[in-house]
Amino acid sequence: MPADRGSERIFELEEEVDQLKAAVASHAVVDQAIGMIVALGRVTPDEGWKVLKDVSQHTNIKLRHVAELILIWGRKGAMPPEIRAELEDALDRCGPTEVPGAAPER
């Protein structure tokens, strides 16, 4: 393999590694936000994913960014009003489901 091709391949592989690192970080943020939705909204993980996706689609904000805003809300208690309203609407559409082991609501 010529030296130029070897250098080009190394550059391509470094770019690919950077993209994979970003994807892993993004996936972690989304998973954490789904976890918050599951815990606070009393929905299943699949419903939590659907809620996050719905909020993203209805607000026209990228899913990862919505997830970041939900995590900030968890730490600081602040959330943009349009995100909060859509999150509440999406949760109303999906849940709440019954908490395992909890007494039935009256």
> Which tokens is 33 given?
């936000």
Q: Is residue 32 part of a domain?
A: yes
Q: Is residue 2 part of a domain?
A: no
pLDDT in tens, 73-91: 989 988 999 999 999 999 9
Q: Is residue 17 part of a domain?
A: yes
Quick check: 99 pLDDT over 70?
Answer: no
Question: To 10 degrees, what angle do helices 63-76 and 81-94 make?
Answer: 100
pTM over 0.75: no
Q: Is residue 105 part of a domain?
A: no
Contact 53, 63 (CB under 8 A): yes
Look at the chain and report how many structural domains it folds into. Answer: 1
Quick check: 101 pLDDT over 60?
Answer: no
Written as one string, the DSSP assignment of 29-42 is HHHHHHHHHHHHHT
Q: Is residue 76 part of a domain?
A: yes
User: Which has more confidence, 85 or 26?
Assistant: 85
Q: Is residue 106 part of a domain?
A: no
Contact 55, 4 (CB under 8 A): no
Q: Is residue 46 part of a domain?
A: yes
- Report d(CA 97, CA 46) in Å as an integer: 12
pLDDT of residue 66: 95
Q: Is residue 103 part of a domain?
A: no
Please state the rounded mean pLDDT for residues 39-68: 93
What band does 63 get if pLDDT is binned at 50, 70 and 90?
very high
**Domain, as residue range, for 23:** 9-93
Please state the rounded mean pLDDT for residues 89-103: 67
